Every structure is written in C-alpha cells, then in structure tokens.
Amino acid sequence: MRNTIIGIVIGIVVGVMLGATVIAPGLRQARPSVASHDGLDAENIGAVTRGEQNGKSKTNYTGNNTSSKKTGLTGDVTPLGRIRTASSFPRDLPHLGAMAVRLEQLLGEISNGSFDLKIYDPGVMVPVSDTFRAVQSGTLEAAFSSPGQWADEIPALHLFSSIPFGPSVDEYLAWYYFGGGEQIFQSLLLKKGIHALVCGAIPAEASGWFRKPIRTIGDFKGLKIRAFGLGAKVLAQMGADVSEIGGGDIYNALREGRLDGAEYSMPTVDADLGFGRVAKNYYFPGWHQPSTLFSLMINANTWNGLSPATQIQIETVCGDNVRFGLAQGGSGQFEALKRLGIEGVQVHRWPEIILSALHRAWFDVVREQSANDTDFANTWNSIESFRRDYSIWRELSSF
C-alpha cells in the first residue's frame, strides 16, 4: 500500500512537470488565431516570420497594420491583410471565373481566416492591359489568368498556356511538373520580379463559332475572327484577319457583323455568353487549345514576404484547383451541346484536309516564333524532347 501511494505521488509530480514544460507550450504554439480584416482599408501585403526561415532571412513585409501578431506553426508572424488579385475572368463566368473565386474561398478556409486573397473582376483594380506591369511593380499584388495573356511581355508564356495540336492535359502536366517546365516557367517570370504557379486547368476547348460554314481552306482568307494565343497566329498564317478582343465584347461583335467568327472556350462557357444566338456554326475539335493551363502570378517581394506555411497553402490550393478545373471542365459539356442544338446551333467537325492545313501552318508559326525569341525556342525544345520520350509510353498505353 505504501509503495502504491508513493507511485501515485511521483506520477502526479512528473505529469505536472511534463504538462507545464512540454505539452502546454506546444499547445500554445499550435493554437492558431484568426487575424481580423478591415476590408479595403486594411490591405496588408505579407506575413513574415520573426527570425530565420529555411536558413535564410526573409524580406520583412509588414503592410499597414503591424500592431497585432498571431502565433502559428512557424512562429510569431504579422497578421496578413489582403492580397489583391486581378482576375482575367468575371467572377460569375462558368469554369474560368469559378477557378479564381475558388482560390479566394479555399485559401480563406485553409488558413483559418489568417490569409485573404481577394479576387477582383477584370479592369476593376487596373486596366487589363496594365495588369502584368502592375504586379511586376507591386502596385497590385497578384493576378489570375492564362499565362498566354502576358505573352506580349514574355513570348514564351504562350507555351505555358496552350499549344496547338499539342499535348493532352496529362502529358502537358507531366512535362510541366516533372519534365523541366516548372523551372523554365518560374525562371522566365522571376526575371520580371514575379513568382508564378500553375493554378488551374481545363480540357479541350471548342474550335469556334462562325456565322457561315467553313468548307474550304480558302474560306479563311480575309475572315474576321477573334482568337487567342498561338492559335490566333496559326489563323493569321492561314490568311484570316485576327483580333484578340475581350470575351465580353465578342457577342456584340458577332451580332453586328464586325466579326465573322470567334473562339473563346468550352460549350458550357460559350453557351452562357450567348454566342449561339448570333453565330449558328460551332466547330470541333479545338485544335488550338487541346488543354489550357492557368496561373497565379504574385509579385516576387510579396511572395517572399509570406511565411513558408502560407506559401505551402497557396501551392496546395493551386494544385487542387488544377484537379477541380479538369473535373468540372469535363462535366456538363454534353448538356450544353444539347441545349445549343435545341437553339438551332449546327455542330461541325473540321474536315481532315482543313485540320492538315492548320497543322502545317502551326509548324510555320513555331519556326517563326523560335527564330524571333530564344526563350520561346528553348521552351519549345524542352517540350518536344519530353514529348519524344513520352510518345513511347503513349503508344504502349493506348488502346
């Protein structure tokens, strides 16, 4: 009995000591607190750890409000306010706008409210044409778009957006994540003071809408058409009169006859924008964009000012947004096509002779772009080298 009592006493003493010296500090360190936001008036830029991170000192971004601190897994950090992010797509646009809004929602949830990435519609923060330079200078912290949107600044970004007659999305992502694409992508943008992540994807698009059927190769000559990216350059090579007007202007341009044709996205998106009411000929396959990637660009100093935990949260949500975009993009297309059919839209498949002519024009574009820009040439060589090896697996694994 005496030994039992002594054992109990010792156990209590040891338990109290462990609780006070080991367990309680750990619980305090792991307990997150939610940073408060004052809306647009409290748009702080970053959250930084006090001291060393990954063995190196981080740039100290404190924003406008440094009076409060939160204790997290990475130590004491200033609470993050709002990273303002200009999207190239309206919030209510199916798929494309939804991917951006999803970033805003999930990052708020996964950070337990300590991180706020605020999405703004096109043109709200800065004119769309100024967005890249605004992120580069730090006037705006971030932007969500397809990388080809900024190809005037870096021509090679076309190849990180979509590639005519290019890889399926599984091959595209294999090259990007494990074939050297990510390193090239980030190095190109880091030269401009921007950290970028692939942050969404969609499967093949439709080839486009036309007021009149396209029956011959010669029908492209002088055709007034809206197109995007490298596909636009291919159509120009075919003799078309190409413009790259914004998605919100396409409907009126088709209705008024200022455009003879236009491509934009997948059936679910195109149907929502009403193109089928003003152009009745809808063509497939989307040779110009067999898969499309989207990116989140963040000012490099802003990115470096974030804690490692926040950086990982952004990377994780962006990766999941790729999954979401592909899965959601693959659903609903048949229903949209049925609805368009009821509205009188004629769905066409390009004849092989036209697809072959477009393919030949694409290789002319590649040669021209590679001759004019070393980064484009190097990126294209990386893709082609990877695809030659991948083709062995593709052939063996296909039915």
Task: Give the C-alpha separation, 230 to 98, whole Å.
Answer: 24
pLDDT at 94 over 90: yes
Task: Give the C-alpha separation, 389 to 69, whole Å.
Answer: 51
Query: What percent of the chain has a predicted confidence (pLDDT) above 70?
Result: 80
**What's the pLDDT band for 4 if we cut at 50, 70, 90?**
very low
The verdict on 367 and 231 lying in the same domain is yes
Q: Rounding to the nearest 10 degrees, give the CA dihedral for residues 180, 181, 183, 189.
A: 160
Give me the amino acid identity at 1: M
pLDDT at 27 over 90: no
The answer to whether position 301 is within a domain reads yes
**What's the pLDDT band for 81 if we cut at 50, 70, 90?**
low
The average pLDDT across 170-193 equals 98
Which strand ranges, in their side-by-side order, compose the sheet holding 208-210? 241-243, 224-226, 261-262, 208-210, 281-284, 346-349
Q: Residue 211 — left, alpha, or beta (φ > 0 → left; ψ -120 to 50 → alpha)? A: alpha
Query: What percent of the chain has a predicted confidence (pLDDT) above 90?
Result: 77
Give the CATH number of the domain where residue 255 resides.
Answer: 3.40.190.10
Q: Give the CA distances from residue 34 to residues 70, 115, 330, in Å, rounded to whole numbers and listed in that order.
A: 8, 9, 37
Domain containing residue 112: 43-204+291-330
The answer to whether position 381 is within a domain reads yes
Task: Give the C-alpha separation, 130 to 88, whole Å.
Answer: 12
pLDDT at 12 over 90: no
The answer to whether position 340 is within a domain reads no
pLDDT at 42 over 60: no
**What's the pLDDT band for 39 if we cut at 50, 70, 90?**
very low
C-beta atoms surrounding 389 within 10 Å: 11
pTM: 0.79
The answer to whether position 260 is within a domain reads yes
231-262 per-position pLDDT tens digit: 999 999 999 999 999 899 999 999 999 999 99
**End-to-end alpha-carbon separation of the chain, Å?**
77
pLDDT at 69 over 70: no
The average pLDDT across 126-133 equals 96
Give the CATH number of the domain where residue 60 resides.
Answer: 3.40.190.170
**What's the pLDDT band for 5 if we cut at 50, 70, 90?**
very low
pLDDT at 172 over 90: yes
Query: Of the ranges 9-13, 213-217, 246-250, 340-344, which one carries the lowest mean pLDDT score?
Result: 9-13
The average pLDDT across 217-226 equals 97
Query: Of the ranges 11-25, 192-206, 264-278, which one carries the lowest mean pLDDT score?
Result: 11-25
The verdict on 240 and 150 lying in the same domain is no
114 vs 110, more confident: 110
pLDDT at 10 over 70: no
Task: Give the C-alpha separation, 337 to 333, whole Å.
Answer: 6
The verdict on 320 and 283 lying in the same domain is no
The average pLDDT across 284-297 equals 97
Domain count, the chain: 2
Using only C-alpha atoms, what is the Rg of the chain?
Answer: 26
pLDDT at 146 over 50: yes
Structure tokens at 20: 């006070």
The verdict on 263 and 374 lying in the same domain is yes
Structure tokens at 65: 């409000």
The verdict on 245 and 301 lying in the same domain is no
The average pLDDT across 37-56 equals 34
**What's the pLDDT band for 123 if we cut at 50, 70, 90?**
very high
The verdict on 184 and 67 lying in the same domain is yes
Which strand ranges, in their side-by-side order, compose the sheet holding 194-202? 116-120, 82-87, 142-145, 292-299, 194-202
The mean pLDDT value of the chain amounts to: 84
The verdict on 358 and 213 lying in the same domain is yes
The verdict on 313 and 352 lying in the same domain is no
The verdict on 236 and 136 lying in the same domain is no
The verdict on 176 and 231 lying in the same domain is no
16-25 per-position pLDDT tens digit: 333 333 333 3
Q: pLDDT value at position 80?
A: 54
The verdict on 276 and 192 lying in the same domain is no
The verdict on 260 and 140 lying in the same domain is no
204-219 per-position pLDDT tens digit: 999 999 999 999 999 9
**What's the pLDDT band for 61 if we cut at 50, 70, 90?**
very low
